[in-house]
Amino acid sequence: EPEVTQTPSHQVTQMGQEVILRCVPISNHLYFYWYRQILGQKVEFLVSFYNNEISEKSEIFDDQFSVERPDGSNFTLKIRSTKLEDSAMYFCASSVTGSHTDTQYFGPGTRLTVL
């Protein structure tokens, strides 16, 4: 069964450094999402992306964050200057359509630790 994959599984970085988290969505999916989950807390929406544009973003997704689909398979989340509070699990998800009834499939996540 096709799966969303994410790399790396764990990223440790120093505060102020840039990080890029990578995702490969399921191949026939057109809508992509990033969520994050701070340890012990709920999953929070960051951004949705379709047709090379951001569809919607949350208040968390400020100017330090950006997303890109650099080629036909990867979907990346960049954090320009990491802060301690960016430490979290970051999940990529994808869906075939952007319909509210369409299932979003989550990747295994990247654990980001900012020191």
Partner 1 sequence: GQQVMQIPQYQHVQEGEDFTTYCNSSTTLSNIQWYKQRPGGHPVFLIQLVKSGEVKKQKRLTFQFGEAKKNSSLHITATQTTDVGTYFCAGPMGSGNKLVFGAGTILRVKS
Q: Closest CB to partner 1 among 56 and 68?
A: 56
Is residue 106 within 8 Å of residue 91, measured between CB atoms?
Answer: yes
- Single residue of 43, 73, 78, 85 touching partner 1 by CB under 8 A: 43
Establish if 113 lies at the interface with partner 1 (CB under 8 A).
no
The span of 12-20, 47-55, 64-72, 75-83 binding partner 1 (CB under 8 A) equals: 47-55
Among 33, 75, 79, 114, binds partner 1 (CB under 8 A): 33
Nearest to 87 by CA among 61, 65, 113: 113
Q: Residue 106: how many CB atoms within 10 A of its CB?
A: 16
Contact (CB, 8 A) for 66 and 49: no
- Residues numbered 2-31 forming contacts with partner 1, rule: CB under 8 A: 31
